Each structure stands twice: as C-alpha cells, then as structure tokens.
Amino acid sequence: MTEFERAVEAVLFAAHEPLSPDEIARHVGEGDVGAALATLAERFIGHGIDLVTRGGRWHFQTAPDLAHLLRRTREEPRRLSRAATECLAIIAYHEPVTRAEIEAIRGVQISRGTIDVLMEAGWARTAGRRESPGRPLLYATTPDFLSHFGLGSRRDLPGIDDLKAAGLLDPLDEEALALSLESAGDED
C-alpha cells in the first residue's frame, strides 16, 4: 500500500461526508486520486466495509449484507433534560423522598412527566408510601442507576464539600451547565 493510498484512505475515513476526488486532493496533495480510489475500493472487496461512490463522491459504508447490525432509525438515545437530571440527583441524595419534598428541595415545581422519564429510564422506582397525611408515594433510585453512573453504592455520591472543591457547587457556572444539559424540551 503506497503512502498516497494510505493518505486517501485516512481522509475518507475521517471525513464527515462523502468526498469528491477534488476534495480529497485538497487534503492529500499531488497524486492520482482516481487511481488510488480504484485500488482502495478493490482492496476492500470482501471486507465488512466497502468503499463506494455515489454521484461522484466517495465514502466508506457497511457491506449491504451486514446492514442488520446497524441502527434501524436515525433516532439517538435522548439526553436527560435539566429538570429530570436535577430531580434524579435529588432522589439519589435524599431517598426515599416524596414529590413534594423533591419540589421543596429543588425550589421549583416538577412536571408530571419528569419522574415518569426517570422511571422509564430505569433509574428511579417507587418505594412505598410515607405514613403521613395523604400517604404520598416515595421515590428511590434503582441498582441500574448505580451501575449507569458508576457508583458502588449511594455512599459514593460526592458530598457537598467534594462538590464545592470540584467547582460543582457554584451558581456562576449555571449557564455553562445549562448548555451542557441542553434541555430536551420537557423543561418545566
């Protein structure tokens, strides 16, 4: 395999979209891009991936007979909204806890769907009722919650001092975090 072919292969692999020979040439410089593409395409015959051309643009794609391994829909796992993340954190730190208590700690009401999302994700569960007027439902986290977040037990949650030292207890960063949590639209 020539250095030039190696370069063409790497550029196509790293590209975000199919590339025309001209676009490839802009990255790899002098050389016969067409010939390199032909050699590469032949080399990948029989592999799990093919080098193919569509409308003059080249890209790697999974061999058609292996398409069943691929995602069927373009739908990606959804990010937990900020409200749901806060709600989950409160449950984890205070469980077992009622909805009213979650709202009191959060200082903001939570919408109906928020806890449902956590239960659907398999991270929160109901944990009986509190023996107080109205017998409100209690919520707690699940073993899946611990394993998803890499915690051995709830005792491994960072304490307030840890959060503070790590710079995670600071309203100044609220904007940055809000961006990172990128509300998924079910914000309340």
Q: Which of 78, 129, 135, 154 binds other proteins (CB under 8 A)?
A: 78
User: Which residues is 53 bridged to in the sheet?
Assistant: 58
Report the nearest approach of other proteins to the CB of residue 72 (Å). 6
Query: Cβ distance 187 to 82 under 8 Å?
Result: yes
Q: Which does 114 bind (CB under 5 to 8 A by kind): a second copy, other proteins, none?
A: a second copy
Considering only residues 44 through 73, tell me which ones interact with other proteins, judged by CB under 8 A.
59-64, 67-72
When the beta carbons of 53 and 110 are compared against a second copy, the nearer one is: 110
45 contact partners, CB below 8 Å, separation of at least 6: none
Q: Which does 108 bind (CB under 5 to 8 A by kind): other proteins, a second copy, none?
A: other proteins
Binding mask 137-156 for other proteins (x = CB under 8 A): -------x--xxxxx-----
Give the whole-angstrom CA distance, residue 143 versus residue 149.
10
Report the nearest approach of a second copy to the CB of residue 162 (Å). 5
When the beta carbons of 32 and 173 are compared against a second copy, the nearer one is: 173
Report the Cα–Cα distance between both ends of the chain, in Å, rounded: 58
1 binds other proteins (CB under 8 A): no
Coil, strand, or helix at residue 181? helix
DSSP string for 94-145: H-SEEHHHHHHHHTS---HHHHHHHHHTTSEEEEEE-SSTT--EEEEE-HHH
Interface positions with a second copy (CB under 8 A): 1, 5-11, 13-15, 27-28, 46-49, 60, 62-63, 66, 69-71, 73, 99, 109-117, 119-120, 125-126, 128-129, 135, 137, 150-152, 155-156, 158-159, 162, 165-168, 170, 173, 180
Radius of gyration of the chain, Cα coordinates, nearest whole angstrom: 26
Instruction: Please tell me what DSSP assigns to residue 72.
Output: S
